Amino acid sequence: MNEKYLKSLSEEEKYILKDKGTEKPFSGVYNDFYDAGVFICRACKSPLYESNTKFNSGCGWPSFDDQIDGAINCYEDLSGGRVRTEICCAKCDGHLGHVFYGENLTIKNTRHCVNSLSIQFKAYKNLELSTFAGGNFWYLDKLYRNLTGVYLLHVGYMGGKIEHATYEQVQSGKTNHSEVIQIYFEPSIISYKDILSVFFNHCAYLNKKVKQVNNWHKPIIYFSSKEQKEQAENLLSYECENTSSLATIQVKAETVFFRAEEKHQNYINKKNV
């Protein structure tokens, strides 16, 4: 590793980045972390991974299924009596972890297993966050995932009585959670009004196709700001003049979001591969 980048590192960070050590599983700050931004090298600050490539592999370390182009160097690693592929920062050659293929965890079938102590997170300040419930969250995911201007989305649960509920618990109807989709979008590319319009069209379609809606599938707009609340209420009132079925949509303040199990993320696209 390039020595000029070592001065600002702690001994624990040097152990990982220079000496190719490994932090304990499930101990890293970025293991269960899914905000929108970019992960950079802790030593040289070079960008390594976009947060929209991060997923929960269950291995205990931050996992990514892709890298920023040219950010990573790979080396054969024969330590520990097995053959692995080591990954290092392309700029400073600091050790990040290892990469694995063929595990069928994501569509890209790749897992960069990275130490939290090798990376730092820089949040994107230009993105806006919105959350919606309305029918099965698999279909909301499919609806929004490929829209231009949508940077990142997760499906999960909101509004319930217990933390970290499972899909099965939510489906029982006993937790009072809603199945939701949480979207990070770039408002200069796709406006909140456009995001809402997609949701209203979805709800109108559901109302025609579904006779009875479960409590965890009822349509809700969760606002994260006063501006979102006002815009949602105003646009909903306007839309209801032409489509009375949209009157069932509620507008509520956002509460704690719990990300759903990894198998439910991008579910329909994964099933169609």
Radius of gyration of the chain (CA): 21
Give 158-195 as a DSSP string: ES-SSTT--HHHHHTT-S--EEEEEEEE-TTTS-HHHH
From edge to edge, which strands make up the β-sheet containing 84-89? 54-55, 63-64, 110-114, 95-101, 84-89, 72-77
**What does DSSP assign to residue 247?**
G
> Are 152 and 184 within 8 A, CB to CB?
yes
Region class of 228: left (phi > 0), else alpha (psi between -120 and 50), else beta: alpha
Distance, in Å, from the CA atom of 52 to the CA atom of 39, rounded to the nearest integer, reads 10
H-helix or E-strand spanning residue 248: none
Distance, in Å, from the CA atom of 194 to the CA atom of 241, rounded to the nearest integer, reads 18
Phi, psi dihedral angles at 36 (to 5 degrees): -95, 125
Q: Estimate to the nearest angstrom the gap between the alpha carbon of 227 and the chain centroid.
A: 24
* Residues involved in catalysis: 113
Exposure b/e, 211-247, CB count within 10 A at least 16 = b: eeeeebbbbbbbbeeeebbebbeebbeebeeeeeebe
